[in-house]
Homo-oligomer: A and B are copies of this chain.
Amino acid sequence: MTAGPISTDTGSTGFEPGREPAVARRPQGEGTYVEPRTGNAASVKDAPSVPELLARGRTLCTPPLRAAVARLAAPMDTVAAYHFGWIDRDGTPVAGDGGKAVRPALALLSAQAVGAPAEAGVPGGVSVELVHNFSLLHDDLMDGDETRRHRATAWTVFGPAQAILVGDALATLGTEVLLDAAVTGGASAADAARAVRLITSATRKLIDGQAMDVAFEQRDVVTVEECLEMEGGKTGALLAAASAIGAVLAGADDRTSASLQRYGHHLGLAFQAVDDLLGIWGETEVTGKPHWGDLRQRKKSLPVCAALAEGGAASRRLAEQLADPVGRGEESEHVLAARAALIEEAGGRSWTRDEARRQHRTALAALDEVPMADEVREHFVALAEFVVVRER
């Protein structure tokens, strides 16, 4: 495990006893990016435990998520359960939390942002998880990715048809669970319909982003703006929906919803910038992805686009390499390491780090537009920090 490119904020002490701070879960000095805390001493002191927030999201959202998946006809229920990490390929139950579940945590918080109980956001948390996993199932197949979260992807185990079908079914369930919220009385029919609009619109942006990503594979050069637009679709749209959907289910006005969505959108872009850094300089043990994977695939991620835009000598050498069809996908470790060095030399790594900071700050600024209880705001701030300071 290498040290992160920016030294982590390890000086944030003063957490209440018994409330484990987010950073305590990580070896010190290993974050990929962190913005120094800007809050005053009191807010740092009261900072909530991110693991607790995530655990609450899982505790409240996983049972209804499992119930929704159990509605699928065989064998789709099995394929979905495997994909979520609940069972192995033989059907044996697997202990584990099935991922960080940041989106459900955000959905619950967003209900609290408008004064509703966290529980009001549950259908929203379930919906965003369903849509997120629909996109993972389809993207892995389209991209030919064979590994996710250290496991064989569903299409490699159950075949392409099942990956397509189960993805389709999860997307549909993502709408059904929101409509159910109105039936069970957890939300008004009008608010449930607004939540459906929110998730549907995010799903379309997500598909648009993936379409751009697929198209970029055929191109040698992608501008930074295009890359940000693609990442805004692939990552920003659903985090935006997650950050507002609980509020919408609880009757938030459009302005509050828009601000919360902006927070989530920029948080998504910050997350993606960090992800792009890890995709090149992250270690396989922590990322769960193949070493130099993004470079081997000649992925036009942010560091690459930024390096290509710089225009200096290293930038031009990089452009030549990426335009050269020879050895595509078969480059040695040595060649890929040299390419990573070129990207760094052309400023791609530092630009992306700065971009993560900018997006993180913009996300927090959007949060300031929404009046909410201090504790809820602190939770949003803590989750944002957790999302951008990470190794996987």
Contact = CB atoms under 8 A, between A and B. Distances in A.
Interface of A: 72-73, 75-76, 134, 138, 141-142, 160-162, 164-165, 167-169, 171-173, 175-176, 179, 182, 189-190, 192-193, 196-197, 200-201, 203-204, 207-208, 210-212, 214-215
B164 A176 contact: no
Copies of the polypeptide in the assembly: 2
B172 A76 contact: no
A208 B176 contact: no
Contacts of A160: 142, 160
Given A134-B168, A172-B204, 15 more contacts: A72-B208, A73-B208, A75-B211, A138-B164, A138-B168, A165-B207, A165-B210, A165-B214, A168-B171, A171-B171, A172-B207, A175-B200, A176-B201, A190-B193, A193-B193
A161 to B, nearest CB: 4
Contacts of A173: 204
Contacts of A212: 73
Q: Give the dominant DSSP class at A's interface.
A: helix
Contact of A179 (B141, B165, B193, B215): B193
Contacts of A190: 189-190, 193
Contact of A196 (B141, B179, B201): B179
11 contacts: A75-B211, A76-B211, A134-B168, A138-B165, A165-B211, A169-B208, A171-B171, A175-B196, A179-B197, A189-B190, A196-B196
B193 A172 contact: no
A98 to B, nearest CB: 22
Given A176-B201, A182-B193, A211 B164 contact: no
A208 B75 CA distance: 10
A142 B164 contact: yes
A4 to B, nearest CB: 34
Contacts of A169: 204, 207-208, 211
A210 B171 CA distance: 16
A-B CB proximity, top 7 nearest: A142-B161, A193-B193, A73-B208, A169-B207, A175-B200, A172-B203, A172-B204
From A173, A192, A197, residue with most partner B Cβ within 10 Å: A197
A189 B190 CA distance: 7
A161 B155 CA distance: 14
B214 A200 contact: no
Contacts of A142: 160-161, 164-165
Contacts of A201: 176
